[in-house]
Amino acid sequence: MIAGKQVLLIVGGGIAAYKALELVRLLHKAGASVVPVLTRAGAEFVTPLSLSALAGARIYSELFDLTDEAEMGHIQLSRSADLVVVAPATADLMAKMAAGLSNDLASTLLLATDKRVLIAPAMNVRMWEHPATRRNLAALTGDGVQVVGPNAGEMACGEYGPGRMAEPEEILTAIEAALGAGPLRGRHVVVTSGPTHEPIDPVRYIANRSSGAQGAAIAAALVALGARVSFVTGPASVPPPQGVDVLRVETAQEMLAAVEAALPADAAVFAAAVADWRVANAAGQKVKKDGSGRAPALEFAENPDILATVSKMETGRPKLVVGFAAETQDVVAHATAKRARKGCDWIVANDVSAGTGIMGGTENAVTLISDGGAEEWPRMAKQAVARRLAERIAEALA
Ligand code: C5P
């Protein structure tokens, strides 16, 4: 619960600032108090009056306009809150934070605070993807700043991609987690993600095209609900999310060992695309052409099935074990059979046949198979699938 907590909310200058008003309303409804700080640019998008009316508090805007530097100086203002939230966090504000500038009230508060900081970035997709913003984001997360969003979607400027500020409900969830109030607080969840690499020799391997996007999104959603997440990842192209304990592995065998070492857990979500087979006769030295024209013969050995192994553990089995099934036909029938075969509690099934645009895309359409039957979810962003799954996991563990 966040009732009684105080949030210092810095509203930056972006079209998403209007969503900050809804965030204030949600925080109030949850019983938190809000001290709003409006940047000069933010005031171009929302009025000080609407923000202070919704917050039910006076608004702070300019460093030298703190009428009452004596009554409440910026240092005190930055420290009296339980959490500092920046929404929207513009590219400019992120750059200032990363560089440690303090040339207005917002940046001064951010530099002076001793409290945790959560940012909800919002900007044009090119600005978000610019190397400068990537550098600033890396610096900020390295400094322990927590990040919620941005989401991919249609932007106010007409472009499409990541850059939309997270929705107020998502920011509220992230605030609850940051304040240690999420429904998964005190719970430990193991998540596997990404592909595995199975060596052929010291320089070559067998892999698959998994990016690790869905696994990373699920881990992030679980963290946002307050869980401690052991994130066991193969060599994925999507980086691990903030706030997880990262366990990096290459092969399926290493992945199983890392999962077993991470247990016990309340729940386990196996989103990794694990190679079914490994090369049994992997060479210790680089395999050379021998001039005979004959290709080397690779022999294969079956990899352990991590999902089935954990699902069938006699002692220490997580209460909830979730597997995935990517199918191209008869999705529900195949996934239902897989659930029984592997012994897991839930299967998240999706149709990855060509034409769905799901493989490598930003959206997913899944069916959740449990002992209650098959439940079809509407097509939505992969982060939204992750959030919904995390919420269901929280309900199941409650
Ligand atoms: O059998 P299939 O690979 O389709 O099953 C997919 C599910 O099983 C996924 O949840 C995947 O993470 C898991 N799996 C596993 N270990 C394997 C193969 C699959 O954990 N060796």
CB contact at 8 A, 141 and 242: yes
Which amino acid, 102? S
Question: pLDDT by residue (tens digit) across 150-170?
Answer: 998 777 777 888 899 999 999
Judge if 6-179 and 188-397 fold alike in CATH terms. yes
CB contact at 8 A, 123 and 14: yes
Q: What residue has token string 């191209």?
A: 328
Nearest residue to 235 (alpha-carbon basis) of 193, 204, 269, 270:
193
Question: pLDDT by residue (tens digit) across 327-345?
Answer: 989 999 999 999 999 999 9
Active site residue 157: yes
Measured in angstroms, how far is the CA atom of residue 275 from the centroid of ligand 1?
Answer: 8
Query: Residue 140's CB: how many other CB atoms inside 10 A?
Result: 21
The domains of the chain are located at 6-179, 188-397
The CATH class for the domain spanning 6-179 reads: alpha beta
pLDDT of residue 144: 79
Question: pLDDT by residue (tens digit) across 196-242?
Answer: 999 999 999 999 989 898 899 999 889 888 899 999 999 999 888 87
DSSP state of 113: -
Q: What is the largest CA-CA distance in the chain?
A: 87
- Collapsed DSSP state (helix, strand, coil) of residue 128: helix
Pocket test for ligand 1, best of 249, 251, 270 (most atoms within 8 A of CB): 270
Where helices occur in 43-101 by DSSP H, the ranges are 48-55, 74-80, 91-99
Query: Residue 31's CB: how many other CB atoms inside 10 A?
Result: 11
CB contact at 8 A, 249 and 264: no
Q: How far apart are alpha carbons 398 and 375 in whole angstroms?
A: 20
Nearest residue to 220 (alpha-carbon basis) of 141, 161, 275, 154:
141
Pocket test for ligand 1, best of 274, 331, 341 (most atoms within 8 A of CB): 274
Q: How far apart are alpha carbons 307 and 272 in whole angstroms?
A: 10
CB contact at 8 A, 77 and 109: yes
* Residues whose CB is less than 8 angstroms from the CB of residue 236 and which lie 6 or more positions away in sequence, other chains included: 193, 194, 195, 210, 211, 212, 215, 216
Whose alpha carbon is nearest atom 13 of ligand 1? 307
* Residues whose CB is less than 8 angstroms from the CB of residue 340 and which lie 6 or more positions away in sequence, other chains included: none
Measured in angstroms, how far is the CA atom of residue 251 from the centroid of ligand 1?
Answer: 13
Within 6 A (CB) of ligand 1 lie 192, 252, 270, 272, 274, 276, 303, 305-307, 323-325
Confidence check: pLDDT of 63 > 70: no
The pairing of strands 346-351 and 366-370 is: antiparallel
Of 277 and 380, the structure prediction assigns the larger pLDDT to: 277
Q: Which atom of ligand 1 is nearest to the CA of 276?
A: 21
Q: How far apart are alpha carbons 56 and 76 in whole angstroms?
A: 20
Of 17 and 226, the structure prediction assigns the larger pLDDT to: 17
- In order of 141, 217, 292, the CA distances from 176 in angstroms are 19, 18, 65
99 phi and psi, to 5 degrees? -90, -10
Measured in angstroms, how far is the CA atom of residue 94 from the centroid of ligand 1?
Answer: 39
Pocket test for ligand 1, best of 307, 334, 350 (most atoms within 8 A of CB): 307
Q: What DSSP element (H or E) covers 120?
A: strand 116-121
Measured in angstroms, how far is the CA atom of residue 84 from the centroid of ligand 1?
Answer: 41
Q: Which atom of ligand 1 is nearest to the CA of 310?
A: 20
Q: How far apart are alpha carbons 158 and 351 in whole angstroms?
A: 30
Torsion of CA 322, 265, 393, 227, to 10 degrees: -130
Question: pLDDT by residue (tens digit) across 96-146?
Answer: 999 999 989 999 999 999 888 999 999 999 999 999 999 999 899 878 788
Asked: is 188-397 a CATH 3.40.50.10300 domain? The reply is yes
Question: pLDDT by residue (tens digit) across 263-292?
Answer: 999 999 999 999 999 999 999 999 999 899
| pTM exceeding the 0.75 threshold for the entire prediction | no
Measured in angstroms, how far is the CA atom of residue 369 from the centroid of ligand 1?
Answer: 15
Helices (H) and strands (E) in the chain, counts: 13, 21
The rounded percent of the chain whose pLDDT value lies above 90 is 71
Query: Two tokens at 394?
Result: 């929280």
Nearest residue to 219 (alpha-carbon basis) of 391, 350, 390:
390
* Residues whose CB is less than 8 angstroms from the CB of residue 138 and which lie 6 or more positions away in sequence, other chains included: none
Which of the following is catalytic: 1, 132, 138, 157?
A: 157
Q: How far apart are alpha carbons 50 and 281 in whole angstroms?
A: 69
The size of the chain, in residues, is: 398
Query: Two tokens at 179?
Result: 């304040």
- In order of 62, 161, 172, 380, the CA distances from 74 in angstroms are 10, 36, 25, 42
Q: Which atom of ligand 1 is nearest to the CA of 323?
A: 10
